Structure 1
Amino acid sequence: MPKSIAYLPSQSNQSRFFTVDRLPLDIWSADATMAHGIWLGGALNFGNGLKQFRRRLRAQVRGLMRSRMPVAMITGSVGKSTTSRMLARILECQGHVVGLTTTDGIYVGRQMIQSGDRAGYSGARTVLARPDVTAAVLETARGGLNRRGLYLGRCDVAALLNVQDEQIGMDGIETVADMARLKRKVTDAARRVVLGADDPSCRLLAEQYRPGRVTLFGFETQDDLVRRHIAGGHVAFVVEHEAGREWIVRRQGDARHLVVDAWQLPSSMNGALRHNIANAMAAAALADALGVPLAVIAEALLSLSNSAEDLPSRFNIFDQYPFRIVVDRANSPPATRALVAAVARIPVSGRRLCMVSCWGNRPGFNYERVAAAITPGFDIFICYEEPILRRGRPPAKIVELLKAGLMNCGVAETRIHNAGSYEEGLRLAASLATADDLLLVLGAHVGDIKPVMDDVFGPVRLKDDAGRA
């Protein structure tokens, strides 16, 4: 007999789906299709069969309630995907089969089961309906949240990492305050809330929740909000110096626990990628709220690198081309600023080149702000586009807008080059760069651009955590 999906609500508001493979229940009901507040499709109503099998069902449901799978949601302007992947790795190290939804796709374990942007309703529905998933990590992006509202009625923990000038001026979101109100829907649904203490919008939000419900994370240990939070007996994850090194530390009242040496995190590149240290703090705070031991958190974070396998399109470094190439999907003003700061910390004996593009459906000021972010950090600029990036813009318009933004920032036209594709941009870079130079490619997915890089330069392997190719 094929398995069916059954549903039973509880007074504790922890309803749960489970498979029924022996019970002759055959009455369909639209009321029996919600788990964690999300529509999963057709399900079975117990109907008259409930009386016959009441005892067996209650026993099964009680067991399921005791082992209800942990669910985490992550939102913010930047860092969502990386933090989600870090948390998924932590829960995997704890022994879970993790269902992970991101803007890159849906993963069960480390296997991608669907590609594309699934950081919303469709991804959550897929993950929560799978019987093999024992923990869910759900990246929650602005688009679906704004169009369809919050797709999940409740979760165990949620993080709002930051609220910055990304996707402002789109779909009725005109200010950072508007965006903060939208993203707050995610944290309002959570039993425990993780907030970025270095972000002004998150700081305001922290004052609106019961302190015991909130975990803060941030670099500013001596910040007044963080100090009061810790002194009140509440949890914060911060960066502190220990024996000349930076450590991620869990603070609560007088208790202080070293979690992991931030410079040893492969994803931080010896501390150069400050945004990944912040993401690691957020992931640690989320995992801690789910009851994961600190030793497991450290082990997991130390196992995750900025490789294309672990963190695709997030500062992936290629070192066996004629010159060093860094690929990152970032194309918003705040993400670009973080990437430019990271590249500035990498020693380069030659010049720095930037190959840049943006999504075409962004407002005009987005291109100006991206241009302003990259202007001080590079010597040569290649503005490019791909058809998939246009999103309604006519061909070459993205390139035109970025070039205009660079020139308005004082960049000489002779330092700006135009390209109509990945390939054209890379061939331009090949003609301009020397062995001592570095090329940062922004706005590209590594899975799309790597085959083009191999075609232009020849196949290479990705640099490993120790710096070997």
Structure 2
Amino acid sequence: MNGYDGLRVTVAGLGVSGISTARALARLGARVTVVDGGDGERQRARAAELAGEGIEVVLGGGETLHGNTELVVTSPGWRPDSPLFTAAAAINVEVVGDVEIAWRLRGETGPPWLAVTGTNGKTTTVRMLAAILEAAGLRTAAVGNIGTPIIDAVLADPPYDVLAVELSSYQLHWAPSVRPHSGAVLNVAPDHLDWHGSMKAYAAAKGRVYEGNRVACVYNAADQATEQLVTRADVAEGCRAIGFTLGPPGLSELGVVDGVLADRAFVADRRSRAQELATVADVNPPAPHNIANALAAAALARAYGVPPGAVRDGLRGFSPDPHRIEHVADVAGVAYVDDSKATNTHATEASLAAYPSIVWIAGGLAKGATFDDLVRGAAARLRGAVLIGADRHLIAEALARHAPDVPVVDLERTDTGAMAAAVTEATRLAHPGDTILMAPACASMDMFTNYNERGDAFAAAVHGLADGPAHTEQ
């Protein structure tokens, strides 16, 4: 008899992770009820499917406990102050996330986790890590906040050798007992503060990825906050702090020397030598922040014992997901780059730093962000700016304060043709050798369904440009 047989469980959320959790627990004999605030066609279809498997689904509510619940499992994104969780706390019912359940189901003999979190770069780093592990001949998967549902991966038959796990701050908040083999925090910048309540709480959630690490806590040497999280973590005896840097690596660091990704952490004599892992040219794209992602992935892989050649082969074979600093086309000497995934200022800062001369397409929903530091840091690189979306005035005001000589086009349109107009205006401002960079620094939902749709609209507009458009000299 397992610990879930007969247990009355409420699963919050009818998304991918919620469905995976409900099915796994039902197979273990739990009496599962799924609650979801939606009541649309998609939710009803999913509810009917689960009902056929003996899983009860309650739609359009989700605010109260059902059936004498003994455990609540939440999907990522449900706020900690949701009435469902308040009700659970009032009667001492435990609330955990799907990641926590996956860790418990993993047991003592399941595949080890190499875990990654951070404000930006998580998905790319985890996918790089999975590519490196595969190049080493290991059976692995990218899971967690991406890819295969983590519970499905933990219970897979045949089992995985090791898992590359992306963990959001939401997931870490609800996963108190997760203890990865090794973990990495890529960076920490203000984000999701409305959910966590404060920057301190948000950073603390990120820092949970280090708890119980056995081999390596990987931190960003350029981001002091990540190193501070390492010092606060309760780790296993012998676990090491391993930094990554875009400069030459110090002792117990990975870094870059003359275009080579070098390891001074996982070598026999790290005081006097470094191991070449790959070259900057092996990283796609070789933008500074993406090289940092590659170094973090390499550090976790090396912590697991992966040989140098697998790091090189994995990075060479890796292709980034769409809308992440993705080169769309070159037209008349101008490069067009889609970084629609840059939905906050921290991600956009990294994107702007990758190019010397930029016409910037930006704007959308600011989510409470301010743009003065971003514009101040990028002002010397800006050839022009085209602003779209609900909160574009905030960026316009920052440009007026810190880059008053940069020409700005303010587009009031929010219709489906607005992105095409933005690309047309950016093309008019650009010179041969410039990069037209769509890195909005804002969320997309004011004009688009999501950042993917926004990126697709940009790419379609670029591909729709007339052959050899004229570039007006400024």
Amino acid at match of 2:224: P
Which residue does 1:402 correspond to in 2? Answer: 395
Amino acid at match of 2:6: S
Which residue does 1:207 correspond to in 2? Answer: 231
Q: Kindly tell me: are residues 138 and 353 of structure 1, through their superposed partners in 2, closer, same or farther at Cα, counting changes over 3 Å?
A: same
Q: 1:290 aligned to 304, 328, 340, which one?
A: 304
The 3-state SS of whatever aligns with 1:198 is: coil
1:253-304 CA distance string (max 9 Å, x none) = 62444232432323253xxx22222211211111122232222222212222
Give percent identity, aligned residues only. 20
Amino acid at match of 1:266: V
Aligned pairs, how many? Answer: 359
Give the deviation of 1:7 after TM superposition.
5.5
For residues 320-331 of structure 1, the aligned pairs below 5 Å read: 320-322=330-332, 323-328=334-339, 329-331=341-343
In the aligned structure 2, how far is the partner of 1:300 from the partner of 1:183? 26
8 A contact 2:115–2:180 mirrored in 1: yes
Structure 2 spans left out of the alignment, 5+ residues: 12-20, 31-105, 445-449, 466-474
Q: Kindly tell me: are residues 152 and 432 of structure 1, through their superposed partners in 2, closer, same or farther at Cα, counting changes over 3 Å?
A: farther
8 A contact 1:259–1:298 mirrored in 2: no
Q: Kindly tell me: are residues 155 and 439 of structure 1, through their superposed partners in 2, closer, same or farther at Cα, counting changes over 3 Å?
A: same
8 A contact 2:285–2:325 mirrored in 1: no
Which residue does 2:179 correspond to in 1? Answer: 154
The 3-state SS of whatever aligns with 1:267 is: coil
Q: Kindly tell me: are residues 438 and 253 of structure 1, through their superposed partners in 2, closer, same or farther at Cα, counting changes over 3 Å?
A: same
8 A contact 1:30–1:42 mirrored in 2: no
1:415-463 CA distance string (max 9 Å, x none) = 2432534233223224443544320111477843454345434379xxx
- Residue 18 (structure 2) pairs with residue 42 (structure 1): no
8 A contact 2:323–2:455 mirrored in 1: no
Amino acid at match of 1:327: D
The 3-state SS of whatever aligns with 1:107 is: coil
Q: Kindly tell me: are residues 219 and 432 of structure 1, through their superposed partners in 2, closer, same or farther at Cα, counting changes over 3 Å?
A: closer
Which residue does 1:441 correspond to in 2? Answer: 438
Structure 1 spans left out of the alignment, 5+ residues: 1-5, 9-26, 47-63, 109-122, 228-235, 386-395, 461-469
- Residue 388 (structure 2) pairs with residue 384 (structure 1): yes
Q: Kindly tell me: are residues 358 and 158 of structure 1, through their superposed partners in 2, closer, same or farther at Cα, counting changes over 3 Å?
A: farther
Which residue does 1:337 correspond to in 2? Answer: 349
Q: TM-score, normalised by structure 1?
A: 0.65
- Over aligned residues, Cα RMSD in angstroms? 3.7
Q: Kindly tell me: are residues 245 and 373 of structure 1, through their superposed partners in 2, closer, same or farther at Cα, counting changes over 3 Å?
A: closer
Amino acid at match of 1:187: Y
8 A contact 2:427–2:436 mirrored in 1: no
- Residue 205 (structure 2) pairs with residue 182 (structure 1): yes
Amino acid at match of 2:150: A
Q: TM-score, normalised by structure 2?
A: 0.65
8 A contact 2:353–2:378 mirrored in 1: no
1:59-80 CA distance string (max 9 Å, x none) = xxxxx98973232221112221
8 A contact 2:386–2:410 mirrored in 1: yes
1:124-173 CA distance string (max 9 Å, x none) = 33543444662432211224445xx2276333222112223x31743344
Amino acid at match of 2:118: G
Give the deviation of 1:320 after TM superposition.
3.7
The 3-state SS of whatever aligns with 1:190 is: coil
